[in-house]
Amino acid sequence: MSLLPRPGKWKYYVMLIVINTIGRLPLGWRYGISRVISDRVYDWRPSVRNNVRSNIRHVLGAAASEEEVDRISRQCARNTGRYYADVVGMQRMDVSHFLEHDLVLEGLDYVRAAQAAGRGVVLASAHYANPEFAVQGLAAAGIKVFALVEPLRPRELGRLMRSLRTVHGHEYEEVSFGAIKKAIAWLRAGGVVAILIDRDIQKRGIEIEFCGSPAKFPTGAVDLAMRTGAVLLPGWVRRTGGFKVEAIVGPPLPLVLTGGADDDLRTNTARLLALFEQHLKRDPGQWSVLDRIWPDDIAPHAAPPAPLAETHDRETVQ
């Protein structure tokens, strides 16, 4: 038996140290530290920088200048840093204070109406601002959420992240066959399942046009709603300045059900992504995705040539 730690286990130890050091600081300090670290990662990791710039170029379009793409891409990196700053202090978070003072939560009546009718709710969101932070406010509002999340390695890191995410009463499971079965049972019992729609983590997604170009996206949110008859509620989060967060839930997205399961899955997923595209384009710098979403880059438009200077004969007035 080797006494050396498994490859990748250093991530667990780093996160553990950060939780017990930086995680004890006030949120403003954590955001300041995260900004410095995020800038260094963006500057020193070309793979990360190129991935983010590729994504933002697709969002902004070919006409955007290189300076604008770079500025917004750096904002994305900083927002990802703020996400981790939120997470490492989550166990010390006062969710009641958060709900009352720092979270603007709209559309909760849609959740309560669905549950009153005996239906489950699929709460579909994206890696934008910090939906995990916002969902903690639902605990203070008396709504317990079951969330499907990305598997993390090493296993110790996954367990550590789960302990942070579940400290206020929600349940989190890494995506797996067993977790999906549990999510279906949760929905059929009238519960709320949260799932993100903008990263094809398991590489089983379908190709859908998003921001004008095709890319692969997961269908889990729509699939769960179609299987269980749950209400599909889009929920978009954004940071509004300082420590304030706004979360807008709903209105429900009615499902197109023609009887052709594959076509319906594609149609409804495309409609859900179109809603997110509208939200994303209002402030793309809050998109916290460091992986490349589109397989191909798009080239920026060349700047138009400068107009030739016009020459005129002028009289010289003495």
8 A C-beta contact, residue 79 and residue 239: yes
pLDDT of residue 201: 85
Strand order in 103-106's β-sheet?
103-106, 244-249, 231-241, 121-125, 192-196, 145-149, 171-174
Mean pLDDT of the region 166-184 = 91
Amino acid at 201: I
119 closest CA partner among 29, 281, 232, 3: 232
Q: Tell me the average pLDDT of the chain.
A: 89
**Cα separation, 105 vs 264, whole angstroms:** 31
52 closest CA partner among 265, 260, 293: 293
pLDDT above 80: residue 31: yes
pLDDT above 70: residue 2: no
126 closest CA partner among 59, 47, 62: 59
51 closest CA partner among 69, 31, 68: 69
Tens digits of residue pLDDT in 104-146:
999 999 999 999 999 999 999 999 999 988 889 888 888 899 9
Q: Which of 1-10, 67-76, 89-98, 308-317 comes out lowest in average pLDDT?
A: 308-317
8 A C-beta contact, residue 114 and residue 120: yes
Tens digits of residue pLDDT in 187-222:
999 999 999 999 988 888 999 999 999 999 999 999
8 A C-beta contact, residue 229 and residue 190: no
> In this structure, what token pair is assigned to residue 260?
């052709």
Specify which residues 29 forms β-bridges with: none
Tens digits of residue pLDDT in 89-107:
998 999 999 888 999 999 9
pLDDT of residue 301: 66
pTM here? 0.87
pLDDT above 60: residue 315: no
298 closest CA partner among 212, 218, 205: 212
